[in-house]
Chain A
């Protein structure tokens, strides 16, 4: 089973600061997704990256897929309290299309203090 390591596990910063969270593996992924989960709710997809080196932006969030497709990062600029949540990365491996679901990292718990 491929393993996705997310770091840091917990991060608490002040509103307005920038931050980066990481998702790393020793395995190559055919694609990688980032989700955000708020308390009492299910995860919600933020982005899917497919191509090595790909960069996608979602307002103040920037997602990057590593050139070798083994890692990914999420950078948030000028964090706001509404960014608080659990950020999960999830990867699919191999040519099977990922029908057996995605492998999820354990997540980064992010708290943005006003």
Chain B
């Protein structure tokens, strides 16, 4: 099915462990984004990518690593998970060719991560 899919939907991990959240889109969109959503903070941008092999930091990048070797995949890795990284993580893509801000973001259904 076409769209943007995230896996896993739910993940529980321990402090200090490495965990990778996956994001796959079938639209061949150039732009991909990772947001985290927390009560009281709303959606905050972690990292984004304008194309394969091009990534850049967002508002809250510390403790996260991303890569984009293929256009369709944009994994997010927590190198050493901390309790403060407990959150719901959303991946999004945009097919913008002009101003990205005028184009819709297409979100996945999120990964709920709990760090114990």
Contact = CB atoms under 8 A, between A and B. Distances in A.
- Most chain B CB inside 10 Å of its own CB: which residue of A35, A92, A100: A100
Interface residues of B, number: 30
A93 to B, nearest CB: 8
A31 B104 contact: no
Interface string A79-112: 0000000001011100001111110111100000
- Most chain A CB inside 10 Å of its own CB: which residue of B41, B43, B96: B43
Interface string B101-116: 1111111111000000
Interface residues of A, number: 27
Interface of A: 1, 30-31, 33, 35, 40-45, 48, 50, 88, 90-92, 97-102, 104-107
Given A31-B101, A88-B42, 17 more contacts: A40-B110, A42-B90, A42-B107, A42-B109, A43-B105, A44-B107, A45-B104, A48-B103, A88-B43, A97-B96, A99-B50, A100-B48, A101-B33, A101-B58, A101-B100, A102-B45, A104-B43
